[in-house]
Amino acid sequence: MLHHEYSKNAYRIYLEGGGEMGQLTRSYDWSKTVLGTPDKWSRNLLTTLSIIFHSKLPMFLWWGNDLIQFYNDAYRPSLGNEGKHPKALGQRGEDCWPEIWPTIKPLIDQVMAGGESTWNEDQLMPIFRNNKLEEVYWTSGYSRVIDVDGKIGGVLVTCSETTTRIKQNQVINQNLKDLAEREWRLNSLITEAPVGIGLLKTRDLIIETANNKVLEFWGKTASVIGERLATALPELEGQPFLQILDDVYTSGVAYYSNEISGVLEHNGTLKKYYFDLLYQPIKSANGETESILVLATDITEQVKARQVIEESSLEFRQMADSIIQMVWVTDANGMHEYYNKRWYDFTGSDFASSKGEGWDQMFHPDDRENAWKKWNHALETGNPYEVEYRLKNYAGEYIWVLGRAAPFYNSEGELIKWFGTCTDINEQKLLQEQKDDFISIASHELKTPVTTLKASVQLLNRLVEDPSPKVKYLIDWSNKTIDKVEKLIEDLLNASKFNHGQLHLNKTYFTLGELIEECSEHIGLEGKHTISITGNELLKIYADRDRIGQVITNFIGNAIKYAPGSQEIHIEFETLENALQVSVIDRGLGIEADKIPYLFERYYRADSSGSQYSGLGLGLYICAEIIKKHEGKIGVESEVGEGSRFWFILPITG
């Protein structure tokens, strides 16, 4: 009896302790389960439970055919707060774990059937806890528990939940994957970079990295990686690169060149390159060079383009130096950028003193103002410029030059430069001066005998009473010829006078209409021509009466001379705003358009054969000088075969 009592209560020893789960197990109403009350439990079950309750390792037991469940305090947290605990105790496995039963049932079956114990690390088993289905990772082993009859009575699960570690690992792995992506991107950036990037390791210059661009420069594939640079590119021998790299390696000082040429072999042919090149030593923690980073940018195209420009600029300079003229170039603002050799030889000056205002010292003081005026006008308007002036040479002598400049436009149509020349015209100028001097002297010398001759003929005319028609004709003819000679001498005298700046005006008020009338009468028409005059008869002007008369007479004289077939010469005078205009219109030969710009120059005659009409080409030059002196304007409109309209405009002053 006592023995029975003892054995009846003996189970209690096995179920002692065990914390919360021990307590729950003891108080559980086992009578409703297939296992019955604990006093009926086999000793093996009790022994196992005792081990489970006292273990600090999470443990779980399925017992019997229904797989009734037990678990300890260490396991309990894995069931979460709201969920399976405490219902799981005494529950059938199938009822407790519907969500993972298909996964774990085969493992349980395997062990129950006497198979191998199982071991699963970090297995994902989503279970319902904390009111939701959670992703839970387990490392667990399922092992058999033998019952008293020697058969397998249950399955003991020793396990630990690894969810936290796995989640941490996942975060770490995720980060690593970031990192890896970044490295991959960096690598592809280097590989695809438009500049050549390479890394040479050790003093042997082993090619460790070579991106696509470097391989392209080298004319090689990635198979050269791992080789020595000198072996991979034998053509480097005799070129400076290997020595420079060695210097960088041993000195630890970077090398940079912004234009270095190198020859590299491509499929058997040598190709010349120009590079911007950097050799950067990469040092270890203790400061020793470990490798050299190579950065190379191909600038071959730019260098070649520049060489073409340099060559054409050199050609220009050589050509400019080989000609007799002085040549210069300025920017759009007229600042000098270039002079040819002839300029420096002629002036004996250097570039600094030839710039801009420096010219001031080189112009003859009398020509300075006019030269600057014309040049500034050209700069303002963009019109070509032409002016004669005296330029001081290296010996301090003033030499006559013809200065010309033309604007240069770029492809966008912007004026970017001026090209100019100075041509030595000193000799022509001196010859001209000699000629002018001769003319001046000769015309003076001729004037007196011709005046005497004229007086004699007039005397003769008076002395001969009742002359025969032949004698009368001869005397008339002599008179006319002497008039012509007088006019020629007069022109010559005037021209040389004006040339020496000796045109002085003697201004008075006079009636313009009267003067025109006088000039028309004085001209001595031969009956062929009639002169009509229109204008305000009362119009008065303030000018040199004789000189203006000279201009009108000249216009009328020319109209008669160059319009022999036409009958009428028309003279118009009218007031304009602050000016008045006088025009002499004929219906004569007219003048070709390309000759008009030169009509008012000295000695210019439109019909240069000159045989038909007498004249020296001085009349219009004299007219122009007179009108210029009056600050007026002179000009002509003419059409060949239609006639001409010569005009001058005088400002109304005083």
Give me the residue whose beta carbon is nearest to ligand ADP: 615
Inter-residue contact 652 to 630 (CB < 8 Å)? no
In angstroms, what is the minimal distance from the CB of 614 to ligand ADP? 7
**Measured from the CB atom, is 230 or 616 closer to ligand ADP?**
616
Residues contacting residue 276 through CB under 8 Å, at least 6 positions apart: 257, 258, 259, 296, 297, 299
> How far apart are alpha carbons 264 and 234 in whole angstroms?
9
**Measured from the CB atom, is 157 or 618 closer to ligand ADP?**
618
Element (H, E) at 50: helix 43-54
In angstroms, what is the minimal distance from the CB of 645 to ligand ADP? 9
Binding of residue 625 to ligand ADP (CB under 6 A)? no
Residues contacting residue 570 through CB under 8 Å, at least 6 positions apart: 531, 532, 533, 534, 584, 585, 586
In angstroms, what is the minimal distance from the CB of 636 to ligand ADP? 8
Binding of residue 615 to ligand ADP (CB under 6 A)? yes
CB atoms within 10 A of CB 131: 10
Structure token pair of residue 254: 């970077």
**Tokens 């030595």 -> residue:** 424
Nearest to 136 by CA among 119, 160, 161: 161
**Measured from the CB atom, is 274 or 600 closer to ligand ADP?**
600
Q: How far is CA 485 from CA 324, 442, 624, in A?
A: 43, 13, 22
Q: β-strands 540-544, 507-511: how paired?
A: antiparallel
In angstroms, what is the minimal distance from the CB of 485 to ligand ADP? 13
In angstroms, what is the minimal distance from the CB of 484 to ligand ADP? 11
Residue type, 95: D
In angstroms, what is the minimal distance from the CB of 563 to ligand ADP? 6
Inter-residue contact 94 to 39 (CB < 8 Å)? no
Q: Which stretch binds ligand ADP (CB under 6 A): 327-335, 448-456, 564-572, 613-621?
A: 613-621
Binding of residue 645 to ligand ADP (CB under 6 A)? no
Q: Which stretch binds ligand ADP (CB under 6 A): 259-267, 318-326, 542-550, 558-566?
A: 558-566
**Measured from the CB atom, is 408 or 604 closer to ligand ADP?**
604
Structure token pair of residue 6: 């003892």
> How far apart are alpha carbons 123 and 136 in whole angstroms?
8
**Of residues 588, 632, 648, 650, which one binds ligand ADP by CB under 6 A?**
588
Binding of residue 66 to ligand ADP (CB under 6 A)? no
Q: Which stretch binds ligand ADP (CB under 6 A): 400-408, 449-457, 516-524, 554-562?
A: 554-562
> How far apart are alpha carbons 331 and 176 in whole angstroms?
62
**Measured from the CB atom, is 221 or 611 closer to ligand ADP?**
611
Q: Which stretch binds ligand ADP (CB under 6 A): 329-337, 443-451, 498-506, 597-605?
A: 597-605
Residues contacting residue 112 through CB under 8 Å, at least 6 positions apart: 144, 152, 155
**Measured from the CB atom, is 118 or 550 closer to ligand ADP?**
550
> How far apart are alpha carbons 265 and 220 in whole angstroms?
9
In angstroms, what is the minimal distance from the CB of 618 to ligand ADP? 6
CA atoms within 13 A on the CB side of 22: 19
In angstroms, what is the minimal distance from the CB of 555 to ligand ADP? 7
Binding of residue 558 to ligand ADP (CB under 6 A)? yes
Nearest to 533 by CA among 582, 570, 486, 492: 570
Binding of residue 422 to ligand ADP (CB under 6 A)? no
Helix, strand, coil percentages, rounded to 5, for the chain: 45, 30, 30
Binding of residue 606 to ligand ADP (CB under 6 A)? yes
**Measured from the CB atom, is 295 or 596 closer to ligand ADP?**
596
**Measured from the CB atom, is 449 or 641 closer to ligand ADP?**
641
**Of residues 619, 625, 627, 650, which one binds ligand ADP by CB under 6 A?**
619
Site residues, ligand ADP (CB under 6 A): 558-559, 562, 586, 588-589, 591, 599, 604-607, 615-621, 644
